Structure 1
Amino acid sequence: MPTVSQRFWLTTDRVDTVIDASAESLYAMVSDLPRIGEWSPECEGVTWEGEVSTPVVGTTFMGQNAVGPGRRIRYKRHGRVLVADAGREFEFITDEGGRESTVWRYQFQPEGSGTRVTESYEVRWIPVWARIIDVPTNRHKELLENMRTTLARLKVCAEAQHNATNR
Protein backbone atom coordinates (compact mmCIF):
# COMPACT_ATOMS: atom_id res chain seq x y z
CA MET A 1 0.00 0.00 0.00
CA PRO A 2 1.22 3.51 -0.72
CA THR A 3 2.27 5.57 2.24
CA VAL A 4 -0.44 8.01 3.30
CA SER A 5 0.89 11.54 2.93
CA GLN A 6 -0.40 15.08 2.97
CA ARG A 7 1.35 15.32 -0.37
CA PHE A 8 -0.53 12.77 -2.48
CA TRP A 9 2.24 12.69 -5.07
CA LEU A 10 4.86 11.49 -2.56
CA THR A 11 4.13 7.83 -3.05
CA THR A 12 6.01 4.72 -2.16
CA ASP A 13 5.28 1.10 -2.82
CA ARG A 14 6.91 -2.28 -3.26
CA VAL A 15 6.42 -5.69 -4.76
CA ASP A 16 8.26 -8.93 -4.19
CA THR A 17 8.60 -12.43 -5.54
CA VAL A 18 10.67 -15.52 -4.85
CA ILE A 19 13.07 -16.48 -7.62
CA ASP A 20 14.89 -19.79 -7.93
CA ALA A 21 18.36 -18.25 -8.15
CA SER A 22 21.01 -17.04 -5.73
CA ALA A 23 20.94 -13.58 -4.22
CA GLU A 24 24.38 -12.95 -5.70
CA SER A 25 23.34 -13.80 -9.26
CA LEU A 26 20.15 -11.73 -8.98
CA TYR A 27 22.10 -8.79 -7.59
CA ALA A 28 24.55 -9.09 -10.51
CA MET A 29 21.66 -8.96 -12.99
CA VAL A 30 19.85 -6.04 -11.37
CA SER A 31 22.96 -3.95 -10.75
CA ASP A 32 23.99 -4.36 -14.41
CA LEU A 33 21.76 -1.41 -15.31
CA PRO A 34 22.53 -1.44 -19.06
CA ARG A 35 20.55 -4.75 -19.08
CA ILE A 36 17.47 -3.28 -17.37
CA GLY A 37 15.57 -3.03 -20.65
CA GLU A 38 15.43 -6.85 -20.69
CA TRP A 39 12.88 -6.81 -17.87
CA SER A 40 11.61 -3.27 -17.33
CA PRO A 41 8.53 -2.22 -19.33
CA GLU A 42 9.52 1.45 -18.94
CA CYS A 43 13.29 1.82 -18.78
CA GLU A 44 14.69 0.81 -22.16
CA GLY A 45 18.30 0.99 -21.10
CA VAL A 46 20.99 2.73 -19.14
CA THR A 47 24.37 4.12 -20.09
CA TRP A 48 26.99 4.41 -17.38
CA GLU A 49 28.74 7.78 -17.17
CA GLY A 50 32.47 7.11 -17.18
CA GLU A 51 34.35 3.83 -17.07
CA VAL A 52 32.21 1.40 -15.08
CA SER A 53 32.58 -2.35 -14.85
CA THR A 54 30.87 -2.80 -11.49
CA PRO A 55 28.68 -0.06 -10.04
CA VAL A 56 29.69 1.36 -6.67
CA VAL A 57 28.14 4.02 -4.47
CA GLY A 58 28.29 7.30 -6.37
CA THR A 59 28.38 5.77 -9.86
CA THR A 60 26.23 7.86 -12.22
CA PHE A 61 24.23 6.95 -15.30
CA MET A 62 21.67 8.12 -17.84
CA GLY A 63 18.47 6.10 -18.27
CA GLN A 64 16.29 6.11 -21.40
CA ASN A 65 12.58 5.56 -20.76
CA ALA A 66 9.36 5.23 -22.73
CA VAL A 67 5.79 5.44 -21.39
CA GLY A 68 2.23 6.12 -22.47
CA PRO A 69 0.14 4.72 -25.29
CA GLY A 70 2.43 2.89 -27.67
CA ARG A 71 5.37 3.96 -25.49
CA ARG A 72 5.50 7.18 -27.52
CA ILE A 73 6.48 9.46 -24.66
CA ARG A 74 10.24 9.24 -24.28
CA TYR A 75 12.40 10.82 -21.64
CA LYS A 76 15.81 10.51 -20.00
CA ARG A 77 16.82 10.57 -16.36
CA HIS A 78 20.17 10.97 -14.67
CA GLY A 79 20.75 8.62 -11.79
CA ARG A 80 23.24 7.86 -9.07
CA VAL A 81 23.91 4.64 -7.17
CA LEU A 82 23.20 5.03 -3.45
CA VAL A 83 23.72 1.46 -2.19
CA ALA A 84 25.74 -1.31 -3.83
CA ASP A 85 25.83 -4.18 -1.32
CA ALA A 86 26.40 -7.29 -3.45
CA GLY A 87 23.83 -10.01 -2.86
CA ARG A 88 21.82 -7.86 -0.44
CA GLU A 89 20.73 -4.48 -1.77
CA PHE A 90 21.05 -2.24 -4.81
CA GLU A 91 19.60 1.26 -4.68
CA PHE A 92 19.73 4.29 -6.93
CA ILE A 93 18.09 7.68 -7.18
CA THR A 94 16.95 9.46 -10.32
CA ASP A 95 16.63 13.19 -10.77
CA GLU A 96 14.01 15.41 -12.31
CA GLY A 97 15.06 18.87 -13.40
CA GLY A 98 18.26 18.70 -11.38
CA ARG A 99 16.51 17.66 -8.15
CA GLU A 100 16.59 14.24 -6.54
CA SER A 101 13.29 12.65 -7.46
CA THR A 102 12.75 8.92 -7.02
CA VAL A 103 14.65 6.25 -5.13
CA TRP A 104 14.55 2.73 -6.59
CA ARG A 105 15.60 -0.16 -4.37
CA TYR A 106 16.13 -3.89 -4.89
CA GLN A 107 16.59 -6.08 -1.83
CA PHE A 108 17.62 -9.74 -1.88
CA GLN A 109 16.79 -12.15 0.94
CA PRO A 110 17.57 -15.88 0.73
CA GLU A 111 14.38 -17.93 1.07
CA GLY A 112 14.32 -21.70 0.80
CA SER A 113 16.32 -22.70 -2.25
CA GLY A 114 15.80 -19.31 -3.86
CA THR A 115 15.77 -15.60 -3.11
CA ARG A 116 13.00 -13.17 -2.26
CA VAL A 117 13.51 -10.08 -4.40
CA THR A 118 11.76 -6.89 -3.30
CA GLU A 119 11.59 -3.93 -5.66
CA SER A 120 10.42 -0.63 -4.23
CA TYR A 121 10.27 3.02 -5.07
CA GLU A 122 9.92 6.21 -3.08
CA VAL A 123 9.00 9.49 -4.76
CA ARG A 124 10.79 12.31 -2.96
CA TRP A 125 9.98 15.15 -5.34
CA ILE A 126 8.37 15.70 -8.72
CA PRO A 127 7.59 18.94 -10.55
CA VAL A 128 4.11 20.45 -10.46
CA TRP A 129 3.34 19.50 -14.08
CA ALA A 130 4.05 15.84 -13.27
CA ARG A 131 1.83 15.96 -10.18
CA ILE A 132 -1.02 17.23 -12.34
CA ILE A 133 -0.54 14.55 -15.00
CA ASP A 134 -0.03 11.75 -12.47
CA VAL A 135 -3.56 11.99 -11.05
CA PRO A 136 -5.67 11.26 -14.16
CA THR A 137 -3.11 8.80 -15.52
CA ASN A 138 -2.85 7.02 -12.14
CA ARG A 139 0.93 6.95 -12.30
CA HIS A 140 1.17 5.12 -8.97
CA LYS A 141 -0.87 2.21 -10.36
CA GLU A 142 1.29 2.18 -13.50
CA LEU A 143 4.49 2.06 -11.43
CA LEU A 144 3.11 -0.80 -9.35
CA GLU A 145 2.17 -2.79 -12.48
CA ASN A 146 5.57 -2.05 -14.03
CA MET A 147 7.36 -3.34 -10.93
CA ARG A 148 5.32 -6.56 -11.06
CA THR A 149 6.21 -6.96 -14.73
CA THR A 150 9.87 -6.22 -14.03
CA LEU A 151 10.11 -8.91 -11.36
CA ALA A 152 8.17 -11.44 -13.47
CA ARG A 153 10.57 -10.92 -16.39
CA LEU A 154 13.59 -10.99 -14.09
CA LYS A 155 12.30 -14.29 -12.67
CA VAL A 156 12.00 -15.88 -16.13
CA CYS A 157 15.47 -14.73 -17.17
CA ALA A 158 17.18 -15.61 -13.87
CA GLU A 159 15.58 -19.03 -13.56
CA ALA A 160 16.44 -19.92 -17.16
CA GLN A 161 20.04 -18.89 -16.48
CA HIS A 162 20.03 -20.80 -13.15
CA ASN A 163 18.61 -23.96 -14.77
CA ALA A 164 21.10 -23.81 -17.66
CA THR A 165 24.00 -23.47 -15.21
CA ASN A 166 22.81 -26.34 -13.00
CA ARG A 167 22.30 -28.97 -15.70
Structure 2
Amino acid sequence: MTMQQHEEVTVTMAAPVDTVWSLVSDVTRIGEFSPETFEAQWLRGADGPAVGARFRGHVRRNEVGPTYWTPCTVLECEPGRVFTFGVGSSSNPVTRWGYRLTPLPERSAVEVTETFDFTAAWWAQAYWLVIGPLRRRRVRRDMLCTLERMRAVVEG
Protein backbone atom coordinates (compact mmCIF):
# COMPACT_ATOMS: atom_id res chain seq x y z
CA MET A 1 0.00 0.00 0.00
CA THR A 2 1.48 3.37 -1.00
CA MET A 3 0.62 6.44 0.96
CA GLN A 4 1.43 10.09 0.46
CA GLN A 5 3.20 11.56 3.50
CA HIS A 6 1.72 14.80 4.83
CA GLU A 7 2.97 17.26 7.42
CA GLU A 8 1.68 20.68 8.42
CA VAL A 9 2.34 23.41 10.96
CA THR A 10 0.09 26.37 11.83
CA VAL A 11 1.09 29.74 13.31
CA THR A 12 -1.21 32.70 14.01
CA MET A 13 0.06 36.04 12.73
CA ALA A 14 -1.33 39.39 13.90
CA ALA A 15 -1.35 41.04 10.48
CA PRO A 16 -3.73 41.71 7.59
CA VAL A 17 -4.26 38.76 5.27
CA ASP A 18 -2.97 40.77 2.27
CA THR A 19 0.33 41.44 4.06
CA VAL A 20 0.77 37.76 4.89
CA TRP A 21 -0.23 36.71 1.37
CA SER A 22 2.35 39.04 -0.17
CA LEU A 23 5.03 37.38 1.92
CA VAL A 24 4.14 33.68 1.49
CA SER A 25 3.61 34.00 -2.27
CA ASP A 26 6.84 35.90 -3.00
CA VAL A 27 9.29 33.05 -3.62
CA THR A 28 12.15 35.52 -4.09
CA ARG A 29 12.02 36.23 -0.33
CA ILE A 30 12.14 32.61 0.86
CA GLY A 31 15.84 32.90 1.70
CA GLU A 32 14.92 35.30 4.51
CA PHE A 33 12.83 32.65 6.23
CA SER A 34 13.61 29.06 5.25
CA PRO A 35 16.42 27.16 6.97
CA GLU A 36 17.02 25.07 3.80
CA THR A 37 16.09 27.16 0.76
CA PHE A 38 18.34 30.19 0.71
CA GLU A 39 17.18 31.76 -2.56
CA ALA A 40 14.65 31.36 -5.37
CA GLN A 41 14.24 32.89 -8.82
CA TRP A 42 11.24 33.13 -11.13
CA LEU A 43 11.85 31.47 -14.53
CA ARG A 44 10.61 31.75 -18.11
CA GLY A 45 9.28 35.27 -17.81
CA ALA A 46 7.33 34.69 -14.60
CA ASP A 47 7.58 37.56 -12.15
CA GLY A 48 5.03 36.61 -9.53
CA PRO A 49 2.65 33.95 -8.29
CA ALA A 50 0.25 32.40 -10.81
CA VAL A 51 -0.81 28.83 -11.55
CA GLY A 52 1.77 27.32 -13.89
CA ALA A 53 4.48 29.87 -13.09
CA ARG A 54 7.92 28.28 -12.82
CA PHE A 55 10.75 29.10 -10.48
CA ARG A 56 13.81 27.41 -9.08
CA GLY A 57 14.89 27.14 -5.48
CA HIS A 58 18.47 26.97 -4.28
CA VAL A 59 18.52 24.41 -1.47
CA ARG A 60 21.11 23.46 1.11
CA ARG A 61 19.72 20.17 2.44
CA ASN A 62 19.55 20.14 6.24
CA GLU A 63 21.44 23.46 6.23
CA VAL A 64 24.74 21.63 5.52
CA GLY A 65 24.42 20.12 2.05
CA PRO A 66 24.32 18.94 -0.54
CA THR A 67 23.47 22.22 -2.26
CA TYR A 68 21.47 22.18 -5.48
CA TRP A 69 18.89 24.01 -7.60
CA THR A 70 15.45 22.44 -7.85
CA PRO A 71 12.69 23.25 -10.38
CA CYS A 72 9.29 24.27 -9.00
CA THR A 73 5.85 24.96 -10.47
CA VAL A 74 3.00 26.91 -8.86
CA LEU A 75 0.06 24.50 -8.57
CA GLU A 76 -2.49 26.59 -6.64
CA CYS A 77 -2.68 30.35 -6.36
CA GLU A 78 -5.72 31.96 -4.76
CA PRO A 79 -4.72 35.38 -3.40
CA GLY A 80 -5.38 35.67 0.30
CA ARG A 81 -6.17 31.94 0.61
CA VAL A 82 -3.72 29.37 -0.78
CA PHE A 83 -0.32 29.18 -2.46
CA THR A 84 1.05 25.72 -3.34
CA PHE A 85 3.97 24.65 -5.50
CA GLY A 86 5.37 21.33 -6.64
CA VAL A 87 9.05 20.44 -6.63
CA GLY A 88 10.44 18.41 -9.52
CA SER A 89 8.42 17.53 -12.58
CA SER A 90 5.60 19.99 -13.20
CA SER A 91 3.23 17.13 -14.07
CA ASN A 92 4.23 14.80 -11.22
CA PRO A 93 6.09 16.63 -8.44
CA VAL A 94 8.05 14.67 -5.84
CA THR A 95 7.02 17.08 -3.09
CA ARG A 96 4.39 19.77 -2.68
CA TRP A 97 4.78 22.72 -0.37
CA GLY A 98 2.06 25.19 0.39
CA TYR A 99 0.57 27.90 2.53
CA ARG A 100 -3.09 28.07 3.54
CA LEU A 101 -4.36 31.34 5.03
CA THR A 102 -7.41 31.53 7.30
CA PRO A 103 -8.34 35.09 8.36
CA LEU A 104 -9.47 35.51 11.96
CA PRO A 105 -11.40 38.82 11.76
CA GLU A 106 -12.31 38.86 15.45
CA ARG A 107 -8.60 38.88 16.31
CA SER A 108 -7.31 40.91 13.33
CA ALA A 109 -5.05 37.99 12.59
CA VAL A 110 -4.42 35.16 10.13
CA GLU A 111 -3.82 31.48 10.76
CA VAL A 112 -1.03 30.45 8.41
CA THR A 113 -0.61 26.74 7.77
CA GLU A 114 2.46 25.54 5.92
CA THR A 115 2.03 22.11 4.33
CA PHE A 116 4.38 19.46 2.98
CA ASP A 117 3.37 16.41 0.94
CA PHE A 118 5.80 13.73 -0.19
CA THR A 119 4.92 11.68 -3.26
CA ALA A 120 3.00 8.43 -2.99
CA ALA A 121 5.02 6.96 -5.89
CA TRP A 122 6.06 3.34 -5.38
CA TRP A 123 9.75 4.14 -5.88
CA ALA A 124 9.76 6.58 -2.95
CA GLN A 125 8.33 4.23 -0.34
CA ALA A 126 11.66 2.64 0.61
CA TYR A 127 13.20 6.11 1.01
CA TRP A 128 10.38 7.22 3.28
CA LEU A 129 10.54 4.02 5.37
CA VAL A 130 14.25 4.53 6.02
CA ILE A 131 14.60 8.32 6.10
CA GLY A 132 11.00 9.30 6.79
CA PRO A 133 11.07 9.65 10.59
CA LEU A 134 14.14 11.91 10.49
CA ARG A 135 12.91 13.90 7.50
CA ARG A 136 9.45 14.32 9.04
CA ARG A 137 10.94 15.84 12.20
CA ARG A 138 13.22 18.09 10.15
CA VAL A 139 10.38 19.27 7.89
CA ARG A 140 8.12 20.12 10.84
CA ARG A 141 10.92 21.98 12.64
CA ASP A 142 11.86 23.92 9.50
CA MET A 143 8.23 24.82 8.72
CA LEU A 144 7.79 26.17 12.25
CA CYS A 145 11.05 28.14 11.93
CA THR A 146 9.96 29.56 8.56
CA LEU A 147 6.55 30.62 9.87
CA GLU A 148 8.01 32.17 13.03
CA ARG A 149 10.49 34.18 10.95
CA MET A 150 7.64 35.34 8.71
CA ARG A 151 5.56 36.27 11.74
CA ALA A 152 8.42 38.41 13.06
CA VAL A 153 8.42 40.35 9.76
CA VAL A 154 4.65 40.89 9.42
CA GLU A 155 4.17 41.70 13.10
CA GLY A 156 7.38 43.77 13.35
In the alignment, what sits opposite 2:131? 135
Amino acid at match of 1:72: G
In the alignment, what sits opposite 1:85? 78
What are the equivalent positions in structure 2 for 1:4-153 lying under 5 Å apart? 6-7=1-2, 10-68=4-62, 71-95=64-88, 99-111=92-104, 112-125=107-120, 128=124, 131=127, 135=131, 138-153=134-149
In the alignment, what sits opposite 1:3? none
Distance 1:22 1:136, change over 3 A: closer
The list of structure 1 runs, each at least 4 consecutive aligned residues, that deviate by more than 3 angstroms after superposition, is 125-130
Aligned residue for 1:41, secondary structure, equals coil
Unaligned runs of 5+ in 2: none
Structure-1-length-normalised TM-score: 0.81
Q: Distance in 2 between matches of 1:32 and 1:134?
A: 33
Q: Distance in 2 between matches of 1:157 and 1:113?
A: 16
Identity %: 26
Structure-2-length-normalised TM-score: 0.86
* Among candidates 128, 146, 151, match of residue 155 of structure 1: 151
Unaligned runs of 5+ in 1: 1-5, 161-167
Contact 2:98 2:115 survives alignment (8 Å) = yes
Structure with more relative contact order (C-alpha pairs < 8 Å, separation 6 or more): 2
